[in-house]
Structure 1
Amino acid sequence: MKTASTPAGQRTRAVIYVRISQDRTGAGLGVARQREDCEVLAVRMGCDVVEVYDDNDVSAYSGKKRPGYQRMLADLADGVATIVIVWHTDRLHRSPKELEEYIALCESRGVTTHTVQAGHLDLSTPGGRMMARTFGNLARYESEHKGERVARARQQKAADGLWAGGIRPFGWGVPTGKTRKKTVTTVDPDTGKESKDEVEVPVLDMNQLVPAEAAAIETGIDMLLTGGSVRGWVKWLADKGFTTTRGNPIVPAEARDMLMRPRNAGIAVYRGEEIGKGKWEPIVDEVRLRGVVAVLKDPARRTSPGSTPKWFGSLIYRCGIKGCTGTMICTRAGGARRPSYRCPTQHGGGRRADKLDEYVADLIVNRLSQPDAVDLLKAGPDDVDVTALQLEAETIDQRLRNTANLFGSGQISMPEFTEASNAARAQLEGVQRQLARAAVKDPLVGLVGAKDVRAAWEARELDQRRTVLRSLLDVTILPARRGRLPDGGYFDYDAIKIEWKR
């Protein structure tokens, strides 16, 4: 933006740069006040202001790109002006590297810098450069000191079991009835120009559960503990209309993180480390949290995209051809109209997939519907003392914190700290594995004793049904008789060998 002035050539050309690192209201009042003061200085100096560069709500310390600043440097390199006017040097730089680049440009183009608060900086002289670097180092110190204060405040909040800020976590955040102002930035798709609007948003209580979201987390954890998959839970979430707290679809990586959060069990975390109990309402107990973490971190768990079978018995049914030890896969080999199970070695004919899966599923549902089905349930790990393990975990956590405090105060050396903390973490991992044992459920739980076993069976995702199949049956597919069978059909049920494992 240009200001009216005397004819070009009679006065010195200057540019103004204004910046504020955090504009909480979005009104731009901070940069507006800076600009007013800079314009007064320009008039007093007798300068023509040919351009004003504005970076609102952008920190110089954060390392983020500043479009206005970059545009100013390009214009100065092109000779647009020979004077830069700013409110203070810390509006220009908070990084020594950035300052040196600015000094080099000013030296090569004969540009001088004038500030409202710190006076004239002649970067062509050693004294001027020394002052600029001194101001820059002070600004850097202030930024780092502020960063430490912010980090310490967040650490203290975490230690006190309080919400430390950030994106609302899925599962918590109930409106309190109060509102606060928030700045929303929108970009015009045609011009690329940004605009900021101030809106009222509700203030949330991050210690209170959002019932529907909390129930969704609990459903996901139960799915995983009974043989389900993250992808199955993601599909369930999408079918129910759940999104992230930002309104985006939930993808498997996000879903996995959501299920493994210590926060779910009311455990506070700071920089990735568990540091104690939070003051928010937990969704699940610690035992179930440790269980789902153990399941998801199991190295044997298959997680590669596209590897999940689409059919009930795929890679579970065994081939019954003599001498073959392979499992069956479901394909449409040879232009078949319907998918069929075949051995990957291609010997023997196929077996119609829908009829075979229906037959095996009916066997399972009918068996689990019998009065004595409760006898099939496996007993839980009676040798796991959950209360004692949780107490032991808390004791080890406290030992880790005490060790860190001793190292921080200089009472122990780095090797001593490393040795002690590694030993404590190894013990903690062992405790958590034992807690996980107590959480993983028999896949028959929820089916045995259900009012309608078939409805409960059909409500389970494919991975959970496959886990039940693995747990209950060995299914071997023998060579089928050819042609029409005595019952008038063509599907040879007698060629399906069933062995119950329980």
Structure 2
Amino acid sequence: MSQDRTGAGLGVDRQREDCEALAARNGWQVVETYSDNDVSAYSGKLRKGYRRMLADLDEGRATIVIAWHTDRLHRSPTELEEYINLCEQRGVTTQTVQAGALDLATPGGRLVARMLGNVARHESEHKGERVARARMQKAKAGEWGGGIRPFGWGVPTGETTKKVDRRTGEETEVPVLDMDKGVPEEFAAIDTGHDILLAGGSLNSWVKWLADKGITSTQGNPIGTTEARDILLRPRNAGIAVYKGEEVGRGNWEAAVSEPKHRAVVAILKDPSRRTTPGSEPKWFGSLIYRCGRPGCTAYAYVTQSGGRRYPSYRCQTNHGGGRHAQKLDDYVQDVIVERLSRNDAQDLLLPGPGDVDVAALQAESEAIRRRLTDLAGLFGAGQITMAQFTEGSDTARAQLEGVNKQLGRAATQDPLVPLVGAPDVRKAWDAMELSQQRSVLRELLEVTLLPPRQGRMPDGGYFDYDAIQFRWLRGPEPYYAK
């Protein structure tokens, strides 16, 4: 049976009863029953019961096959030819409840079997086209296409429906969900995830936030980094409908975040400069951000505790240098940043805001471009334009759409300095930030270069060479150097 919507196997049971009745009328002994429930003969997926039947026939276990209909056996010409060859070699005959006997020992019988197989395949292909068309129409209409409840949507309506467990056949009552309405707690979580990334935070920060709040996936599992990324990348969050990976318009459901906010987060997550290989989050403020200042070296510094040292220290990636007390260096750089952002002219360090972005006009342009893409596909399908014209027009439209999406993303991008500039207590605001956010501020504001330090005791009586730490400010009306 190709589709069992309830999972109860009732259709298969009815087919088996009809086949057993046919065997009884002919006085045949049933030696084995083979069943593939909810697996289409047309899909190409492995049908374990069918393959086991072929193996048993090849070993001579039986000489007659009974099927409810020919299309229960095959909807693939390749499969049919394999079956015909086996039947010829082993003298197997085929009987069906609905289509009668198939005489595969004669050319005429094989012709009939092939014709029935072609008809069945045509019906499957036609059904596939109808299903695909229906899904596309639902997507363009902004309707929910079914499947596992997406994180964020599905509010109980107060009604219930029956659901059958595929494995046990047990029937239970489950609530009917309104997939157009957002779940408040999950909507808030999606919005928080966007805010964390837009403020310079990481996916791991959001994953930890979800775990601390006890928020799980819609199936009750902890949300990991990969799933968290997939959730934030979904166009559905901004009310955008998708069909086969392509955006096709606006959905009818509530949006969890604005489109500019969604575009901005997508731009961050798909930035090729972001680290995509798995690994732990950096534990030190300047790890792989501070630069080595030795002549001719362009490497970054990382923290290690080697060479018999009693404390973690910064060392160049090329393994020369070392000895920069990690905690002292990080504290010093952070003190410099906090002191700079506490000054009266700190406002000058902020980037220009997105006030010049006309979000409404960009969204209208985005919709117009998508309509052009749909129109191009229709013209090509009707044979009114060539493949070359379709490809050229599509490439141009997609390039325009990418530019519009980048501008929409810029409208929601938050400068990581915003929470600090103008804060009543910059030090308190700084200490309240997560490490990933502090590191974003460092990248945006300051370039730190570690020059070769002097040896011995410094003028202040200590051994840390503050003069070997070089700063280059990346923002401000004029270069500013800490002393």
TM-score by length of 2: 0.89
Q: Quick one: which of 254, 261, 270 aligns to 1:288?
A: 261
Matched, 1:219 2:200: no
* 3-state secondary structure, aligned to 1:214: helix
Q: Is the 8 A contact 1:26 1:198 kept in 2?
A: no
The residue correspondences of 1:63-82 to structure 2 (distance < 5 A) are 63-82=44-63
Query: Which letter maps to 2:46?
Result: K
Distance 1:49 1:174 in 2: 50
Gap change, CA 1:404 and 1:467, over 3 Å in 2 = same
Matched, 1:128 2:114: no
The residue correspondences of 1:400-419 to structure 2 (distance < 5 A) are 400-419=373-392
- Report the equivalent of 1:163: 144
- Report the equivalent of 1:250: 223
Query: Which letter maps to 1:113?
Result: T
- Report the equivalent of 1:24: 5
Q: CA deviation at 1:490?
A: 5.0
- Report the equivalent of 2:283: 310
* 3-state secondary structure, aligned to 1:269: strand
* 3-state secondary structure, aligned to 1:170: coil
Distance 2:214 2:399 in 1: 41
Q: Is the 8 A contact 1:485 1:492 kept in 2?
A: no
- Report the equivalent of 2:330: 357
Q: CA deviation at 1:345?
A: 5.0
Query: Which letter maps to 2:80?
Result: L
Gap change, CA 1:407 and 1:326, over 3 Å in 2 = closer
Q: Is the 8 A contact 2:354 2:412 kept in 1?
A: no
Distance 1:486 1:446 in 2: 34
* 3-state secondary structure, aligned to 1:60: coil
Q: Quick one: which of 482, 489, 496 aligns to 2:456?
A: 482
- Report the equivalent of 2:41: 60
- Report the equivalent of 1:466: 439
Q: Quick one: which of 56, 69, 73 aligns to 1:92?
A: 73
- Report the equivalent of 2:371: 398
* 3-state secondary structure, aligned to 1:246: coil
Q: CA deviation at 1:340?
A: 0.8
TM-score by length of 1: 0.86
Matched, 1:112 2:93: yes
Distance 1:95 1:21 in 2: 14
Q: CA deviation at 1:110?
A: 0.8
Distance 1:420 1:52 in 2: 56
Query: Which letter maps to 1:464?
Result: Q
Q: Is the 8 A contact 2:60 2:90 kept in 1?
A: yes
Q: Is the 8 A contact 2:8 2:165 kept in 1?
A: no
- Report the equivalent of 1:4: none
* 3-state secondary structure, aligned to 1:334: coil
Give the paired residue count.
474
- Report the equivalent of 1:434: 407
Greater shift in the superposed pair: 110-119 or 214-223:
214-223
Distance 2:428 2:139 in 1: 44
The percentage of aligned residue pairs carrying the same residue is: 69
**1:334-393 CA-partner distances (Å, limit 9, x unpaired):** 132321112345555512212322333344345545676444322214443322222222
Greater shift in the superposed pair: 422-431 or 299-308:
299-308
Alignment gaps of 5+ in structure 2: 477-483
**1:6-50 CA-partner distances (Å, limit 9, x unpaired):** xxxxxxxxxxxxxx2222333322122222222221121111112
Q: Is the 8 A contact 2:238 2:258 kept in 1?
A: yes
Gap change, CA 1:492 and 1:93, over 3 Å in 2 = same
Moved over 6 A (4+): none
- Report the equivalent of 1:177: 158
Q: Quick one: which of 221, 242, 250 aligns to 1:269?
A: 242
Q: Is the 8 A contact 1:25 1:198 kept in 2?
A: no
Query: Which letter maps to 2:325?
Result: R
- Report the equivalent of 2:83: 102
Gap change, CA 1:406 and 1:157, over 3 Å in 2 = same
Gap change, CA 1:133 and 1:330, over 3 Å in 2 = same
Q: Is the 8 A contact 1:24 1:183 kept in 2?
A: no
Q: Is the 8 A contact 1:25 1:181 kept in 2?
A: no
Gap change, CA 1:446 and 1:202, over 3 Å in 2 = farther
Q: Is the 8 A contact 2:8 2:166 kept in 1?
A: no
Distance 1:239 1:252 in 2: 15
Q: CA deviation at 1:106?
A: 1.2
Query: Which letter maps to 1:317?
Result: Y
Gap change, CA 1:453 and 1:147, over 3 Å in 2 = farther
Gap change, CA 1:349 and 1:103, over 3 Å in 2 = closer
Q: Is the 8 A contact 1:237 1:243 kept in 2?
A: yes
Matched, 1:420 2:393: yes
Greater shift in the superposed pair: 201-210 or 318-327:
318-327
Distance 1:437 1:217 in 2: 19
Q: CA deviation at 1:494?
A: 5.8
* 3-state secondary structure, aligned to 2:32: strand
Gap change, CA 1:344 and 1:56, over 3 Å in 2 = closer
Q: CA deviation at 1:247?
A: 3.5
Report the aligned-residue RMSD.
2.7
Distance 2:29 2:296 in 1: 93
* 3-state secondary structure, aligned to 1:402: helix
Gap change, CA 1:45 and 1:355, over 3 Å in 2 = same
